[in-house]
Amino acid sequence: MQFRASLGALLVGSVLAVPTMLFSLVVDGSVVGATALGLGLFLPFAVYAAHVDPDPATRFPARPVLAAGSVLGVGLLLVAALDGPTAFGIVVGALTAALAFGYHGRYARTPLSPTLVGVGGTAVGLVVAAVAVLTATPLAGGLGVAAVAAASVDYCRARSYLSRRSRRIAATVALVGGMVVVVGGVLADRATTGIALASALLVVGAALAVE
């Protein structure tokens, strides 16, 4: 019964998302906007399907989900950088990759190593930050980096890679660093950039601090 519910949720989400996405693409012509609309309709059903399914790791393998989410997220970043809307595309692309990363962390039968999680999260975060810098959209970049960083922290927490003491130390460093960056940005007349960077640090700090 639970499997039927999860399969039905995916079917309903697909039926709602695909036609709406295609219609938006034809009418508006924005790849990023259409994809974001489709994801917004589909993802709630996908989350529900994974939640109610008794064995999501078997029916929705984590590795293909991670690969698809990463490719789609990077693709959205590139399209946004080349064709726009840049800020919106950065946020949507980063969120897409982050959600796929989070799913892998919770349901993969063979999780990534702590080193690979750190390296992968840092690499994706740097890509997001680079696109934001090149397109002069620091606030969107900060939100995107925050999403990727939070997903990396969630991965480590889901797999118990971090001890409580390590989390507390890292959370303190991130939260204090966020406040310092805000003040530094204001003093350097780069308030928007400071807020963008601080938002990423504060999200990481909050994700680490929550028990």
| Sequence ranges of the domains in the chain | 61-163
**Residue 70: band (very low, low, confident or very high) from pLDDT cuts 50, 70, 90:** confident
Q: 1 pLDDT exceeds 70?
A: no
Q: 40 pLDDT exceeds 80?
A: yes
Residue 153 CB contacts under 8 Å (≥ 6 apart), including other chains: 204, 207, 208
Average pLDDT, the chain: 78
The confidence score (pLDDT) of residue 189 equals: 67
149-170 mean pLDDT: 76
**Residue 127: band (very low, low, confident or very high) from pLDDT cuts 50, 70, 90:** confident
Residue 131 CB contacts under 8 Å (≥ 6 apart), including other chains: 77, 80, 81, 86, 90, 141
Q: 103 pLDDT exceeds 80?
A: yes
Residue 90 CB contacts under 8 Å (≥ 6 apart), including other chains: 77, 80, 128, 131, 132, 135, 137, 140, 141, 143, 144
**Residue 5: band (very low, low, confident or very high) from pLDDT cuts 50, 70, 90:** confident
27-53 mean pLDDT: 82
Q: Are 144 and 90 in contact (CB under 8 A)?
A: yes
**Residue 141: band (very low, low, confident or very high) from pLDDT cuts 50, 70, 90:** confident
146-170 mean pLDDT: 76
Residue 111 CB contacts under 8 Å (≥ 6 apart), including other chains: 104, 105, 155, 159
Q: Are 208 and 153 in contact (CB under 8 A)?
A: yes
Q: 67 pLDDT exceeds 80?
A: yes
Higher confidence at residue 203 or residue 48? 48
